[in-house]
Structure 1
Amino acid sequence: MTPQVSEAAIRCITDGAHALVTMYTDTALTLNACDVASKSYAVRKDEFRLSTTQNIPPEFRLPTELDISYLRHELPGKYETAVVRRICEDFIIRLISLLDGIFEDIVEAVTPLIEPEVTDAEVAKRVRGAWQQEQNGHVRVLNYLVSEAGLKAPAGKKSTVEMVFDRYYEMREIRHALVHTAGTLSAKHLQRLKELSERLPPELRNGSLAGAEFLETGRVEPDVHVILGLRHWAYTTVLGYLRVAFEQSVTK
């Protein structure tokens, strides 16, 4: 790997890490708002009904408006459970979309350095096809970074680049379930998670998400502790690992 390729990839990772911090900050503020609202409604003694649609301007109201409302004593529990769960689900969806974008940015940044003859149109085509799975069971973006860019695992790490991507594939399955099946893990999702777990050496399989507690009911049920763990995973196990990998992959 040339220093130019390494530096271009690391810039993308740095920008992505900053975006991750910003994204989590917004999530943390939203969670704080839930906590404040829950505690505020819990200490109030007056009874009222909160409508979720009464403040919608007339021009945006439905022909037959569908209103869901809550009594005062129902609101603390709603903010502590269903609303927090939705915030956590949204964090996972946005986190994986953010990481997708980082990998795509890396492909876009390094391809012209590796193959100067490639046109902008061809680079854009490769970015669009970055997540297509190839014959070796990995996606194009990983195969390109390993075979063409020369990406190697950092010295002293048990995890290979392929292992790190396998955990990322697991998160993409979880994101897919949240977006497309309302959080229910289909037989296809479960089989894919099982296959990815079994690609790990037996002694490392506890690092797979296939047996994660927040998936054990057959549904994706994240809480605040889960998203804190995923924030740490994304920053260290994915972005931190790849930063060191790109630094150390430069040909001496």
Structure 2
Amino acid sequence: MSISEETKEKILVLLTDAQQENMYNFNTYSLLINANDITSEYYRDAEEDLLIDPAGNVPEQYRFSVEMVSDEFRQPRLVELYSNKFKNVNVEDYFIRTISYLDILLEEMYRLVLLEQGLSERNISRKIKFGNGHLPHVLIQEIDGYRNDDSQDQNVVDYMFMYEIYRQYRHAIVHSHGVLNSRHLTKIDSTCAQIESRLGTQFRRENLAFIESNKVELNIESMAMLRHWVQTFIWSLRLKLS
């Protein structure tokens, strides 16, 4: 359907804010990773054996009667944690936060469309959900520019499909330490089949980024790839809106 210029302007504001938020989040997590590297070097070069108490800064009223300090937080282990695990935590957090922000963006876009249609907030809240017949693909049906996008390169529909796959990645990261279970894989394979049908060329799970042996594997390069993908996704949403 056609949406008013007023609603388009409101959506454009959302999209502009989303691009800025993506860059802010990327910069924030990049600086955290840089801090990891500096801290790792500090502990590696320290001449004395160190023991860090993670509860050291906890206010007295929130401390347990007995606070256990693990040998895990001695110098050698600290170097390893700051060099690897903590860095990976930042990369995963960036992925989780980024895909979650896209959830909010698409929900707010759909909310503006439904408001224009005269729906009450109560009815809007019932319609805003993800799944078959709902977000994200419902936006393609509701906005002419998205439905009629005939770009030869990746268009809005293609981005929506990849976004659905990344939502499965996020779920795996949060709930199963990145391991894609049968439910995740079934949904991903179904989406790949739809992409293959659209493109007319083979598109399999093995073609996807960030997967290795049915596990989501992320690194600093993954952050850069996701940042770029999100910016071009949002730019496509902006461009095809009109």
SS at match of 2:96: helix
Q: How far apart are 1:214 and its partner, in Å? A: 3.5
In structure 2, the partner of 1:16 is 18
User: CA contact under 8 A between 1:153 and 1:159: conserved in structure 2?
Assistant: no
Please tell me whether the aligned partners of residues 8 and 110 of structure 1 are also in contact (alpha carbons under 8 angstroms): no
Letter paired with 1:230:
L
Q: Which runs of 5+ in 1 are unaligned?
A: 248-252
- Is the 1:194–1:210 contact (alpha carbons within 8 Å) kept by the matching residues of 2? no
Q: How does 1:134-213 map to 2 (within 5 A)?
A: 134=133, 139-143=134-138, 145-150=139-144, 151-152=146-147, 154=149, 156-200=151-195, 201=199, 203=201, 205=203, 211-212=207-208
C-alpha separation in 1, matches of 2:125 and 2:230: 25
2:217 pairs, out of 221, 227, 231, with: 221
1:36–1:199 distance in 2 versus 1, CA, 3 Å: same
CA, structure 1 residues 75+42, in 2 after alignment: closer, same or farther (shift >3 Å)? same
Change (3 A) 1:140 1:49: closer
Query: Does the alignment pair 1:123 with 2:121?
Result: no
User: What percent of counterpart residues are identical?
Assistant: 21
SS of 1:54's partner is coil
- How far apart, in 2, do the equivalents of 1:244 and 1:152 lie? 13
Q: 1:155 to 1:163 in 2, by over 3 A?
A: closer
User: What is the TM-score normalised by the length of structure 2?
Assistant: 0.87
**Residues 96 and 170, structure 2, Cα contact 8 Å, conserved in 1:** yes
Corresponding position of 2:104 = 101
Gaps of 5+ in 2: none
1:161 Cα deviation (Å)?
A: 2.6
Q: Is the 8 A contact 1:152 1:245 kept in 2?
A: no
Cα deviation 1:137-175 (Å, max 9, x = unaligned): xx34422x2223323354544334322111000000000
Partner of 1:244: 239
Match of 2:132 in 1: 133
Displacement over 6 Å in runs of 4+: none
Cα 1:80–1:211 shift into 2, 3 Å: farther
Counterparts of 1:148 and 1:213 in 2: how far apart (Å)? 30
Stretch moving more, 68-77 or 167-176: 68-77
Q: Offset at 1:63?
A: 4.7
Q: Which moved more, 1:210-219 or 1:33-42?
A: 210-219
- 1:90 matched to 2:93: yes
CA contact under 8 A between 2:210 and 2:217: conserved in structure 1? Answer: yes
CA distance in 1, matches of 2:175, 2:27: 26
Query: Displacement, 1:220?
Result: 1.9
The alignment status of 1:44 with 2:46, answered yes or no, reads yes
SS in 1 for 2:119: coil
Paired position in structure 1 for 2:69? 67
Distance across 2 between alignment mates of 1:148 and 1:169 = 18
| Partner residue in 2 for 1:55 | 57
Q: 1:190 to 1:210 in 2, by over 3 A?
A: farther
SS at 2:189 equivalent: helix
